[in-house]
Structure 1
Amino acid sequence: MNAARRRTVPDGLPNRVYAKSGSYYWVPKGAGWIKLCRVDDGERKMLERLAAEMRKRERPEGLGNIPALVDLYTDAHKAAHREKRWEDYGKPVKKDFADINIDQVDPACVKEFLRNNWHDKLPMKRMMRSFLNGFFQWCREEGYMTAENPCNGIKMPKPDPRDVYIPNDHFDLIRSNIDDPMILCMVDLCYLTVQRSTEIRNLRWRKTDDKTANWVDREKGVIHFMPSKTLKSSRVAVDWPISAEIETVLERARTAGSVKSQYVVHNQEGGFWSDTSALRVWRRACNAAKLGKHGYTIKDIRAKALTDAQRAGYDMKALRIAAAHTDAKTTEIYFKGREAPVSTIHLTIPKSA
């Protein structure tokens, strides 16, 4: 049989699995074509056979089936995640659960795994719990797991509220040290539209088949934002008028790169800027401005924008709409550096009659 070729068109099959002559085949590195089952048997049968073959050939160090299932899960879902190397979250899971079968995992196992690996790193612990929750849910839905999702009932402490405000002089210094013009455009649009960097990095020049995409509508003179955080909940959207200053930034973005792209802010290849790559440029600018010790993040731009808008006199309703929030209490969380009110009460020490 001919050697396997890298697929050029996504077909929804796991990595190194091909449909040929009415059958599914797996082509592990350094080996020939291994028949899994007939296409007519269905993808469920193919996945089961693939998991069995992966257990035999790729994991001599472990006895359980979790590592093979993690590979199946990440192969099936990595295309849906824009985060570069999202599948790497599965590596510590495969290592620590190498000798465990999926139905042996209980909440105590999950808690021990999180505690032992990220005891004092709450953000990473929350990220890994989210990954595990999705993985176990997929295993249940695909029939690999009969027990309850072991992540159910595991409560994670919420991170402490972040009370960071970037002063104007610091913001100006950081902007002047950003060495990538596209990231500077991203920072400016984040501030001017009060949106998260995810929405700006996902902003398109025109409407696409993706109904959830953010896009520039020249005809109506607005930018349509469908915040990613509301997609699976309230689906609250906001249309942001293209002001003269926003138009200037859009023009800078249009002429900054030599590659045409559907994205307003794009990398050198015309693709989507990942959050980690954008953050790397931002941190480099903070360090160049000698402000690294403050720990400013790209997320702090949205808090600064909403705080500045509040100080400029905009009322809560306008701020809530701008932030695409359904509850004003959520908007209030973004107000930073609030000054304590001055009491007008004046007392004197009482004296006996």
Structure 2
Amino acid sequence: MARIRTKNFDLPIGMLRRVKGPHIYYTLDMGGKPRKEIPLGKDYFLALKKYSELRIQANIERPTMQAAIDRYRNEELPKQADNTQKIFKYDIKHVESYFGTAPLDEIKPVHIRKFLDKHRSTPTTANRCKRLFSTIFNNARGWGYTDAQNPCEGIRGHKLDKRTVYISDDLFNLVYKHASEPLKDAMELAYLTGQRPADALSMTEDDIVSGHLIIKQAKTKQPLRVVIQGQLKEVINRIHRRKHEYTIASGALLINTQGKRLTQAVLRNHFHEARDRAVAENPELESSIINFWFYDLRAKAADDTSDLLGEQKAADLLGHDDVKTTRRHYLRRGKIVVPTR
């Protein structure tokens, strides 16, 4: 498996420059044990030509992980949600640099373990990369690139600490007090509907149909109809009143101070500014306030709904087919129980 290049950056992946005394020659690193190198000659341009011919032939005869990545990127990735595509573009750099030139048949479980160990300092990213590798490898099996068993099987990722923070009403109100009008709308809309920040930001006027807020979750494509009543109705009416202040306003429910669609970056900035103002007023609560993430509102919605209506209603609100998913990732306070006596 080719190593990450630390010099000779003018050479393509797998091509090596060897120096013996006054002589320079080039080889193609084929990997393996013992390592095999194919001579490419002394002339740089002729060596590049031969390198290209050999790489094309090698990809046909022994498809590499890079070939599988390229096909997945072109054929399968466009079918995924926008956020999934963004994460892919970030994670794939690690997978390509480590596995790109390796023939699929030569990648073994030990290589997956070494990759995870190499990225131990960023366990969440390492685990995502492992899942991404596994997905691409399974696709490669389906395409006939390899008959080898998926090397990820039986290899555990890094153990991650489960987030257990529950946002109390007092903490919510503390940050809400210092929030801008767009952030207040976003906090309430995200909490009352139990949706991810990206789904809340994508809600529009056209999603209001027959007394329901129609949601199609970007991540899972799960369709939901949230009844517009109670506090949610009040929030949407307030949003409509605020939008009427602008001559031209976006069709999005969440808008900024200029009447345009609220973006994720602006939402993040407003939220951090509100937290900072809350800390300035309540320095003794700094650790709790700073540990409040906007995404925690989805877990708060699950916990609060579960306490009032039960776990199944919480799962329905979040769009989970299985209540176990809600219980595992979003219910953070535990069941309400009574003492023995």
CA 1:86 to 1:97, structure 2 compared with 1: closer, same or farther past 3 Å?
A: closer
State the alpha-carbon separation in 2 of the partners of residues 77 and 282 from structure 1: 35
Q: Which amino acid aligns with 1:314?
A: L
Q: Which amino acid aligns with 1:190?
A: A
CA 1:269 to 1:256, structure 2 compared with 1: closer, same or farther past 3 Å?
A: closer
State the alpha-carbon separation in 1 of the partners of residues 163 and 234 from structure 2: 29
CA contact (8 A) 1:166 1:301 kept: yes
Which residue is equivalent to 1:223?
213
CA 1:76 to 1:178, structure 2 compared with 1: closer, same or farther past 3 Å?
A: farther
State the alpha-carbon separation in 2 of the partners of residues 238 and 82 from structure 1: 19
Output the TM-score relative to the length of structure 1.
0.60
Which residue is equivalent to 2:237?
248
CA contact (8 A) 2:305 2:311 kept: no
Which residue is equivalent to 2:113?
111
SS class of match (1:289): helix
Note the C-alpha offset of 1:141. 3.5
CA 1:107 to 1:308, structure 2 compared with 1: closer, same or farther past 3 Å?
A: same
1:294-320 superposed Cα distances (whole Å, 9 cap, x missing partner): 422223102222333455x43455444
SS class of match (2:82): coil
How many pairs does the alignment contain?
Answer: 270
CA 1:249 to 1:198, structure 2 compared with 1: closer, same or farther past 3 Å?
A: farther
Which residue is equivalent to 2:318?
323
CA contact (8 A) 1:201 1:265 kept: yes
State the alpha-carbon separation in 2 of the partners of residues 71 and 260 from structure 1: 41
Which residue is equivalent to 2:40?
none
Q: 2:300 aligns with which of 295, 300, 304?
A: 304
Unaligned runs of 5+ in 2: 1-51, 57-62, 280-284
State the alpha-carbon separation in 2 of the partners of residues 125 and 300 from structure 1: 23
Which residue is equivalent to 2:201?
201
SS class of match (2:165): coil
CA contact (8 A) 2:116 2:157 kept: no
Pairs within 5 Å for 1:149-298: 149-156=150-157, 159-178=160-179, 181=182, 183-206=183-206, 215-217=207-209, 220-228=210-218, 231=221, 237-243=223-229, 244-251=233-240, 254=243, 263-265=252-254, 273=263, 278-279=267-268, 281-290=270-279, 293-294=287-288, 295-298=291-294
State the alpha-carbon separation in 2 of the partners of residues 269 and 88 from structure 1: 32
State the alpha-carbon separation in 1 of the partners of residues 144 and 261 from structure 2: 36
State the alpha-carbon separation in 2 of the partners of residues 292 and 140 from structure 1: 51
Q: Which amino acid aligns with 2:225?
A: D
Which residue is equivalent to 2:41?
none
Q: Which amino acid aligns with 2:228?
A: I
Note the C-alpha offset of 1:138. 3.2
Which residue is equivalent to 1:89?
91
CA contact (8 A) 2:81 2:219 kept: no
State the alpha-carbon separation in 2 of the partners of residues 246 and 132 from structure 1: 43
Answer yes or no: is 1:100 the counterpart of 2:102: yes
CA contact (8 A) 2:301 2:314 kept: no
CA contact (8 A) 1:78 1:87 kept: no
SS class of match (2:167): coil
Note the C-alpha offset of 1:95. 1.8
CA 1:70 to 1:344, structure 2 compared with 1: closer, same or farther past 3 Å?
A: closer
CA 1:76 to 1:321, structure 2 compared with 1: closer, same or farther past 3 Å?
A: closer
Q: RMSD of the TM alignment (CA)?
A: 4.1
Note the C-alpha offset of 1:108. 1.8
SS class of match (1:148): coil
Q: Which amino acid aligns with 1:194?
A: G
State the alpha-carbon separation in 2 of the partners of residues 257 and 135 from structure 1: 48
CA 1:85 to 1:258, structure 2 compared with 1: closer, same or farther past 3 Å?
A: farther
CA 1:146 to 1:307, structure 2 compared with 1: closer, same or farther past 3 Å?
A: closer
Output the TM-score relative to the length of structure 2.
0.62
State the alpha-carbon separation in 2 of the partners of residues 329 and 132 from structure 1: 26
Name the structure with the higher helix share: 2
CA 1:85 to 1:340, structure 2 compared with 1: closer, same or farther past 3 Å?
A: closer
Note the C-alpha offset of 1:338. 5.0
CA 1:257 to 1:160, structure 2 compared with 1: closer, same or farther past 3 Å?
A: farther
Q: Which amino acid aligns with 1:138?
A: N
SS class of match (1:203): coil
1:15-37 superposed Cα distances (whole Å, 9 cap, x missing partner): xxxxxxxxxxxxxxxxxxxxxxx
Q: Which amino acid aligns with 2:140?
A: C
Note the C-alpha offset of 1:72. 4.9
Note the C-alpha offset of 1:100. 2.0
CA 1:304 to 1:85, structure 2 compared with 1: closer, same or farther past 3 Å?
A: closer
Note the C-alpha offset of 1:92. 1.6
